[in-house]
């Protein structure tokens, strides 16, 4: 079991020491940061501080030095965002600070995207992706999009605040066989179910597989609303997409 002192980055040690109170969350963060390299810890620290220019620079340097894009994404950017999420929940930071962190995340992702998206192979299938109506969170969806594109899928991204009609129109227009919906708010999660119902009403449910995800979404919730699958992260999203379209891993 890793300990706080196993984390090299002093700022991250302090953040955990001062702000992370739940024992399970604290231990999970300690384990994750202790195994991350100092370069990844530095990216997380800059993201937690909302320093987009520093995240931009450090991400570029890490990739230039040969560190894998997936490692930078998981151990640097997503690891930092986990701390931001807890501080936001505990009212230690507020929307303006989180926006600065989101901007920093995007600055890092801008370097990762071309690498993960450059598969150069014939598209495996067309996927329509969007964040549901009323929800403006797009970081997780965008990560899924990158991973899907990098794995050979053509992704039609509808952005955020997407209505059932917009999902239906896009699936029809692009003849997509897979639809992915993202929701980060418990208040917007039901809009996934409403969209699935709209597909049934439009007599299109059989033409498209539907996958769902986002921090508050669970397998049970996905089953209850009649989705074809649930993925907990961007890697799971790719495996799920392949499984739903009958493509071998």
What's the min distance (Å) between Cβ of 132 and ligand B12?
A: 10
Residue 89 sits in the site that holds ligand B12 (CB under 6 A): yes
* Contact criterion met (CB below 8 Å) for 125 and 154: yes
CA distance 83 to 96: 16
From candidates 16, 40, 43, 102, binder to ligand B12 by CB under 6 A: 102
Which DSSP category does 210 fall into? E
Task: List the interface residues with ligand B12, window 112-131 (CB under 6 A).
Answer: none
Residue 84 sits in the site that holds ligand B12 (CB under 6 A): yes
Stretch touching ligand B12 by CB under 6 A, among 36-44, 50-58, 114-122, 233-241 = 233-241
Q: Strand pairing partners for 209? A: 178
Q: How crowded is residue 194: how many other Cβ atoms within 10 Å of its Cβ? A: 13
Q: Strand pairing partners for 162? A: 132
From candidates 34, 39, 98, 202, binder to ligand B12 by CB under 6 A: 98
What's the min distance (Å) between Cβ of 54 and ligand B12?
A: 18
CA angle at residue 122 from 59 to 204, to 5 degrees?
100
Q: Provide the mask over 172-191, with x wherever binding to ligand B12 is found by CB under 6 A and - wherever it is not.
A: --------xxx-xxxx----
Stretch touching ligand B12 by CB under 6 A, among 20-28, 52-60, 85-93, 112-120 = 85-93
Number of residues engaging ligand B12 in binding (CB under 6 A)? 38
Q: How crowded is residue 51: how many other Cβ atoms within 10 Å of its Cβ? A: 18
Q: Across the chain, how many H-helices and E-strands are there? A: 12, 5
* Contact criterion met (CB below 8 Å) for 160 and 130: yes
Stretch touching ligand B12 by CB under 6 A, among 63-71, 115-123, 169-177, 226-234 = 226-234
From candidates 111, 126, 133, 141, binder to ligand B12 by CB under 6 A: 141
Residue 85 sits in the site that holds ligand B12 (CB under 6 A): yes
* Contact criterion met (CB below 8 Å) for 211 and 244: yes
Residue 164 sits in the site that holds ligand B12 (CB under 6 A): no
* Contact criterion met (CB below 8 Å) for 77 and 47: yes
CA distance 205 to 91: 41
What's the min distance (Å) between Cβ of 214 and ligand B12?
A: 4
Q: Which is nearer to ligand B12, 8 or 100 (CB)?
A: 100
Terminal Cα distance for the chain, rounded: 33
Binding site for ligand B12 (CB under 6 A): 78, 81, 84-85, 88-89, 95, 98-99, 102, 134-141, 143-144, 180-182, 184-187, 211-216, 231, 233-234, 237, 240
């Amino acid at each position: 079991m890793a300990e706080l002192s196993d984390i090299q980055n002093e700022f991250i040690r302090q953040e955990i020491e001062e702000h992370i109170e739940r024992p399970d969350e604290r231990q999970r963060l300690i384990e994750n940061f202790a195994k991350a390299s100092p370069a990844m810890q530095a990216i997380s620290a800059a993201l937690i501080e909302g320093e987009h220019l520093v995240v931009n620079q450090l991400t570029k340097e890490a990739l230039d030095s040969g560190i894998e894009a997936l490692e930078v994404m998981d151990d640097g950017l997503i690891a930092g965002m986990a701390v931001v999420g807890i501080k936001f929940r505990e009212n230690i930071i507020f929307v303006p600070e989180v926006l600065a962190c989101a901007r920093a995340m995007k600055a890092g992702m801008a370097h990762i995207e071309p690498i993960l998206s450059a598969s150069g192979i014939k598209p495996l299938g067309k996927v329509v992706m969007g964040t549901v109506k009323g929800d403006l969170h797009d970081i997780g969806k965008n990560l899924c999009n990158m991973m899907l594109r990098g794995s050979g899928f053509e992704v039609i991204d509808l952005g955020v605040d997407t209505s059932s009609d917009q999902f239906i129109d896009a699936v029809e227009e692009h003849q997509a066989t897979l639809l992915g919906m993202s929701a980060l708010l418990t208040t917007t999660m039901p809009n996934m179910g409403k969209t699935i119902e709209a597909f049934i009403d439009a007599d299109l449910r059989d033409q498209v597989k539907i996958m769902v995800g986002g921090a508050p979404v669970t397998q049970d919730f996905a089953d209850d609303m009649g989705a074809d699958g649930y993925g907990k992260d961007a890697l799971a999203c790719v495996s799920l997409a392949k499984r739903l379209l009958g493509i071998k891993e």
